[in-house]
Amino acid sequence: AGVKALDDATVQIELDSAKPLWVELQLIAISIFPEHILGKVAPADVKGNAFWVNRVGTGPFIWKKYESDQYVEVDRNPDYFLGAPKLDRIIYQIYKDVPPIIAALE
């Protein structure tokens, strides 16, 4: 298991076993950080960097807004190479504990 840069535009991630939720988790939890922007930023300081709240990507949704420890809002990317998503927007709520998650589902 590990992460390896294959070339300037390709990253290979190897898992130690099958992870059925890997695709869903990586969509919201894993980012590739550009070295020219964050190379000198300490890991503990990444969330305070302007890059963290103004993300750039190539996925089906465009980063719209991040409210620290509250939510992330993304909008449909009409120019996504596989076609625009059917959803207009997704809001990912951020919860710090289980009870608020359960309350939100009720």
Question: For the chain, what are the domain ranges?
Answer: 2-105
Give yes or no for a contact between 46 and 40, defined as CB atoms under 8 angstroms apart: no
Mean pLDDT of the chain: 82
Percent share of the chain, pLDDT over 70:
87
Greater model confidence, 77 or 11: 77
**Fold annotation for 2-105:** D-Maltodextrin-Binding Protein; domain 2 (3.40.190)
Q: What is the pTM of this model?
A: 0.58
Residue pLDDT, tens place only, 33-82:
788 888 898 888 887 888 877 777 778 998 898 888 888 899 999 999 89
